[in-house]
């Protein structure tokens, strides 16, 4: 079986920002969703991996788990002024454990883009496909 190249693509949507993330596994797809969210917010190449934050959360569905994961990251960005570049996600039995690698915002070095206020349930989807997983998520900006 051939797995897709993991990644994300930005979705065009009126008044919101969104993305579709893909990966060979659900964990990889969640990693790409987080990378995509931060790519909307900042040039990922400008974010160094000097600090690690740990995230643990759970939910009854993959869709709710994706929303909680991304909201937890946004909370760290808002409260600790952190930007993240790379993610290591493990998902098992509705529980997510992850490491987020990044650094505090440096206003002189980081050109901030879209300010994401929230992760929405509008058009939210996590789906298994023949070659892995796909997730679609929209953000309130």
pLDDT value at residue 113: 87
The token pair at 73 is 């990251």
Q: Quick one: CA dihedral 3, 8, 14, 16, positive or negative?
A: positive
- The answer to whether residue 2 sits within a structural domain is no
- The answer to whether residue 47 sits within a structural domain is yes
Instruction: Give the number of C-alpha atoms closer than 13 A to the C-alpha of residue 114, restricted to the C-beta side.
Output: 20
Average of per-residue pLDDT across 37-42: 95
- The answer to whether residue 1 sits within a structural domain is no
For residue 58, name the pLDDT band (cuts at 50, 70, 90). very high
Q: Which long-range contacts (CB under 8 A, 24 or more apart) does 42-45 make?
A: 42/83, 42/110, 42/111, 42/112, 42/113, 43/110, 43/111, 43/113, 44/85
Mean pLDDT of the chain, nearest integer: 91
- The answer to whether residue 57 sits within a structural domain is yes
Q: What is the pLDDT of residues 76-133, one digit of tens each?
A: 999 999 999 999 999 999 999 999 999 999 999 998 988 899 999 988 999 999 999 9
Residue 133: CATH number of its domain: 3.55.10.10
For residue 1, name the pLDDT band (cuts at 50, 70, 90). very low
- The answer to whether residue 60 sits within a structural domain is yes
Q: Quick one: CA dihedral 137, 138, 140, 141, positive or negative?
A: positive
Q: Which domain holds residue 135?
A: 7-140
Average of per-residue pLDDT across 42-54: 96
């Amino acid at each position: 079986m051939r797995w897709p190249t993991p990644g994300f693509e930005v979705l065009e949507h009126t008044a919101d920002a969104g993305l579709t993330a893909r990966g060979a596994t659900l964990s990889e797809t969640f990693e790409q969703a987080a990378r995509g969210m931060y790519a909307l917010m900042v040039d990922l190449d400008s974010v160094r991996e000097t600090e690690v934050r740990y995230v643990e959360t759970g939910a009854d569905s993959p869709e709710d788990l994706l929303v909680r994961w991304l909201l937890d990251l946004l909370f760290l960005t808002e409260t600790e002024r952190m930007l993240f570049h790379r993610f290591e996600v493990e998902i098992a039995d509705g529980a997510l454990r992850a490491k987020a690698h990044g650094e505090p915002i440096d206003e002189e070095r980081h050109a901030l883009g879209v300010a994401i206020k929230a992760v929405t349930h509008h058009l939210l989807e996590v789906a298994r496909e023949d070659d892995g997983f796909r997730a679609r998520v929209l953000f309130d900006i």
